[in-house]
Chains A and B, each alone.
Chain A
Amino acid sequence: MGNRMFKKILIANRGEIAVRIMRTCQEMGIATVAVCSDADRLALHTLEADEAVPIGPAEPSKSYLDIDRIVDAARQTGAEAVHPGYGFLAENADFAERCEREGIVFIGPPAQVIRNLGDKLTARRIMQAGGVPIIPGMIDAAENSTAWAAAAERIGFPLLVKASAGGGGKGMRIVERPGDLAEACRAASREAAAAFGNGTIYLEKFLPKSRHVEFQILADGQGRTLHLLERECSIQRRHQKIIEETPSPALSPELRAEMGQATVAAARAAGYVNAGTVEFILDPTGRFYFLEVNTRLQVEHPITEMITGLDLVRHQIEIAAGRPLSLIQDEVRGRGHAIECRIYAEDPEQHFMPSPGRIAYMREPAGPGVRNDCGVYAGCEVPVEYDPILSKLVVHAETRELAIRRMVRALTSYVVLGVRTPMDFLLDVLASAPFQAGETTTDFIAAHFAEWAPDRERMELAAMAYAADAMAPRARSAGPVAAANHPGPWHTLNHWRL
């Protein structure tokens, strides 16, 4: 490919990430193609693109997950490359392979790398061979309870049963006692088969009170592989991340360098190309273990962009176009502290039940060091069929303490009306002593916020606002605003004639 750059890219995704990718394409002078389901005809990503191709009904399997439709849309519009975003087809090796066959550049790693790293047991074997520490446990599948029991004895209890073919907590079980092992394995396998079409499970040591720290990879496929520092993603609820930050409060410069080296080793061992993320588990003693590789651009990539000043999507596109990385590891420096809060259309007072509907009004936060990657607008409909993420609110400041204050200011001024959002919950998490102290382990929410209820402090203010709203006249719906107290010339020159 050499120096030629794409003229047109199709973004095979929706919502905030599709909008974010299009922004970089616009800056690079690359034409953008959006794909939209029937529910997204007027979605922000559809409206922002140079062209939009309808790809079917709202249901993801009939639209955003339909490889044929996506490929057809690319051919129809002449898009030379496809950016898959995150979720949907981003880590689908079949899709990457189909693109390769059709002569469309898939902006991501090669299909075989996706396939290898998508299977956790295969990934563990690759990492072990590459000298990357892995969580003690099985590296080959076993099918019967005798083999599981033998492995369990080696590993020790408590242990984790995990699905090889997928994540998100599905097919995962903690086992405390040997007596529970066989049934846990069977149940996990059934769940994995239902969720991923593959019931293969394996056993790993369970590491409680650990942190979830991930490192960003950038590899150009021409010999240069770098890491772009870490992200701490321990604030999770039901295996879903809600707050992420960088740098991690738990990493000393030495540990960072060591984990960075392991990251590069992991990427090389896997033959990685383009952007990706290596996830590690960091136990309370400071030992780290490989968890998995996410072969895509991640939701929380903006915090890395804020501290490094790099545009990851731009690098992805350039690598995919065959350009070697001109960046070297020593040039990668983090500056200051960044935090991201995911803003979902969900109700924290109703156990975070999704809250679809029409957004009646929105006011996004702004100001120095504030970035809101938003996929919706006032007047748009948040559909029921997809993940309810509205935006990612990201702040950057000189220190962690200042970043927390900046996030508090930003959340306080972020207004969304029409769907419920968890700003008040997030404010309470950020204000909490454990968060302020950086005690962000993976059981944070369960340990400190299991039974959250909003505080009533501003209830009276809300009541006054209710009354004021009823009493304040609404503006006239159409026509110019009536002149204030001083009439203009058109009112005073009554009988003027030529």
Chain B
Amino acid sequence: MDWKLRNKEETIVLGVEPAGDSGFIATFGDREAHVVFERLSEHRLRLIVDGRQTSAFVVETAEGKAVMVEGRTFFLADDRAPQMRSRSGTKAGPRTVTPPMPAVVTQILVAAGQTVEQGQALVVVSAMKMDTTLTAPYDGVVTRINVAEGEKVAPKQVLVDIEPGAAGASEDGADGQAS
């Protein structure tokens, strides 16, 4: 059976063929490894890979599994699962205005009805003394501000609704919002 796992933009194909009760042959391309495994607790697994023993620590997260092996952390998601998306980097351009981590809204820079340009600053959120400015993913008009200053927000929560449209195409007398 083939597993397709994604780590950021990279896909890893892992062939798994059971071998005994608690073992399998792992295949990466044309290389093989013999793996014996045993669960030690909810988050800890014992692995013996080609005779070398190690521990792996795993936890489920919203975007897949976080796996820690020998001091290194990898986020892996099953590529075949529906609706699974890789952890988006801050540049990947979500089409919604949403914070990259749980945070507190510190400043709302626009108002409903205002025309905005792609890249224009909309909301400043703060987490652990670090400020992040969320910007407009495209040109448009702000139709609704869904949060207030001081409110706690989380990833996937849409903070500002923007109706897409070319800048300057709206009928409000918005002066040129050069950012």
Which A positions have Cβ atoms within 8 angstroms of B? Answer: 345-346, 350-351, 353-357, 360-361, 363, 384-388, 411-418, 420-421, 423-424, 427, 454-455, 457-469, 471-475
Contact = CB atoms under 8 A, between A and B. Distances in A.
A462 B12 CA distance: 11
Across the A-B interface, the 5 shortest Cβ-Cβ residue pairs: A465-B56, A354-B128, A468-B37, A412-B71, A472-B39
B70 interface: yes
Contact of A417 (B28, B47, B57, B130): B57
Interface string B87-117: 0011000000000111110000000000000
Nearest to B8: A349
Given A461-B54, A469-B56, A384 B127 contact: yes
Interface residues of B, number: 52
Contact of A464 (B7, B38, B49, B72): B49
B142 interface: no
B152 to A, nearest CB: 8
A420 B73 contact: yes
Nearest to A427: B71
A465 B67 contact: yes
Contact of B74 (A354, A386, A459): A459
A459 B128 CA distance: 30
Given A361-B57, A465-B58, A467-B3, A458 B72 contact: yes
A457 B18 CA distance: 24
A353 B37 contact: no
A353 B47 contact: no
Interface string B34-67: 0101110111110101000010111100000111
A201 B89 CA distance: 38
Interface centre among A414, A458, A465, A474 (most CB of B within 10 A): A465
Contacts of B102: 356-357, 384
A414 B71 contact: yes
A454 B72 contact: yes
B26 interface: yes
Interface of B: 3, 5, 7, 12, 14, 16, 18, 22, 24, 26, 28, 33, 35, 37-39, 41-45, 47, 49, 54, 56-59, 65-74, 76, 89-90, 100-104, 127-130, 132, 152
Contacts of B132: 353
A386 to B, nearest CB: 7
Nearest to B66: A417
A352 to B, nearest CB: 9
Contacts of A411: 71
A354 B5 contact: no
Contacts of A345: 128
Contact of A424 (B67, B72, B129): B72
A355 to B, nearest CB: 7
A427 B101 CA distance: 25
A117 to B, nearest CB: 24
A417 B43 CA distance: 9
A424 B71 contact: yes
Given A350-B100, A423-B71, A472-B39, A460 B56 contact: no
B59 A417 contact: yes
Given A384-B127, A423-B71, A424-B71, A463 B39 contact: no
A356 B38 CA distance: 30
